[in-house]
Amino acid sequence: MVGISHRLADLARLERAAVKAGAREALQHDALRLGCAEALVLSTCSRTELYVVLEDTADVSEPCTRQVAEHLLRLLLGPCSAADLERIASVRAGDDVVFHLCRVAAGLDSRVVGEVEIQAQLRSAARAATATSCEPHRLRGLVAAALSGAQSVPHQHDSSDRRGLLARLAVARGVAGVPWGRQVDAIVVGAGTMGRQVMEFLPVDGCRSALLSRTSVTGPSGGPTVYGLEELPARLESADVVFVATSAGRRLLNADLVATAMSQRADRGLVIVDLSVPRNVDPDVACVPGVTLLDLDDLADRRERTSALDGRHLAAVEAAAQSAAERYLAGLRSREAGPLISALRERIEELCLAQLRRTAAGQPASDEHLVRMASAVAGAVAHPPTMLMREAAAQGDTELLDQVARAFRLPAGGSVDTLLPR
């Protein structure tokens, strides 16, 4: 895995690295052209990460892995100095990727710890993942395992409570600077999940709100009416607080537009909260007199954990993520022992057949009958060591696997390096 997250990168870098759904496939195919067998892009407001699987025949030595990682990072982040990559980028390999993705799926690496929006985003990324063959996707299997672990812990609160914590935080910070001696006008730009959650958490009493989107639609029964984005300039003249949360990928509010609106407001201030990555509000808006501009870096301090979970539930979620990673790795190692187990079965069958042929020498028994007998006996004899080998592989006990292989002379010469799990 290569990428950046809110833990090391500021919002400016995150928005430059953000990958929209329409560009995700092209980036994944670029990774395949570099020699990767599979690729998956996860791009959210907290991170942009590229997960890849190297070809089985690829050189996975440290220098090669580092070189591939540098190529992938530049695919993801564009031109960057080595010092910049060292400062803001993360590179993970092997088991570390599994543990990291399980934590990501559980919301433990999000701006708001314990949020569950990441699960839908991860499912979408898995559906869009690409591979060079028609074999089952290993990355999709890993995502499924990570999501299973994330969903194994009962929610501490109703799911909407956790999912909407960032929206509640945005509302709390946004309305804090608004004078409440009169009715307050709030505008929410964006009719997606985040925009509607902000609407839900706006105060009911003393607050008049409007939901704007690129297309005006009639809301579902009981839902808010959505107005067209063309109403935004006029509504800015009377608004007290504006929340912007769209996937537009461009600046919807710039300094000129906001300055024009502020000129019609006398001395009334305006609070603008930008919840988008890439940002929908030009940072220069902060320089307009009377305007307070907040973005995601202001809402959730990268140095502190804003959590939707109390200590007991946080520990349970962390334990579930750890357990999911360990189960996945154990299953992977067990499957990778398959070639050694097949070789063991073949060796036992060979020994049984040779003994049966010697015993039946001169007796009226066809060779086909002897082969069937040898196969049946080999199956029964091989079952206990097979179970033992699967357990050893799951636990990473290559010493025991090596002992079994040497006892049965697998392969000839006693070397099992080509059969043992990597």
- Read off the pLDDT of each residue in 163-190 and give the average, rounded to a whole number: 79
- Ranking 159-163, 177-181, 300-304 by mean pLDDT, the lowest is 159-163
- Read off the pLDDT of each residue in 328-342 and give the average, rounded to a whole number: 78
**Full-model pTM:** 0.72
- 8 Å CB contact between 38 and 44: no
Q: Looking at the annotation, which residues are catalytic?
A: 45
pLDDT at 408 over 80: no
Tell me the per-residue pLDDT of 218-244, one tens digit each, with 9 for 90 and over.
555 556 778 888 999 999 998 999 999
- Ranking 37-51, 135-149, 244-258, 403-417 by mean pLDDT, the lowest is 403-417
The domains found in the chain, sorted by start residue, are: 2-156+310-331 (3.30.460.30), 162-299 (3.40.50.720), 337-407 (no CATH)
Task: Specify which residues 306 forms β-bridges with.
Answer: 112
CA 319 to chain centre: 18
pLDDT at 422 over 50: no
Distance CA 188, CA 161 (A): 19
- 8 Å CB contact between 177 and 186: no
Instruction: Quote the pLDDT of residue 127.
Output: 92
pLDDT at 287 over 90: yes
pLDDT at 418 over 50: no
Pick the residue with more confidence: 250 or 148? Answer: 148
Task: Specify which residues 212 forms β-bridges with.
Answer: 189, 227
Tell me the per-residue pLDDT of 371-391, one tens digit each, with 9 for 90 and over.
887 787 877 787 887 877 777
Pick the residue with more confidence: 88 or 180? Answer: 88
Instruction: Quote the pLDDT of residue 204.
Output: 78
Confidence bin at 142 (pLDDT 50/70/90): very high
- How many CB atoms neighbour CB 82 within 10 A? 8
Instruction: Quote the pLDDT of residue 420.
Output: 41
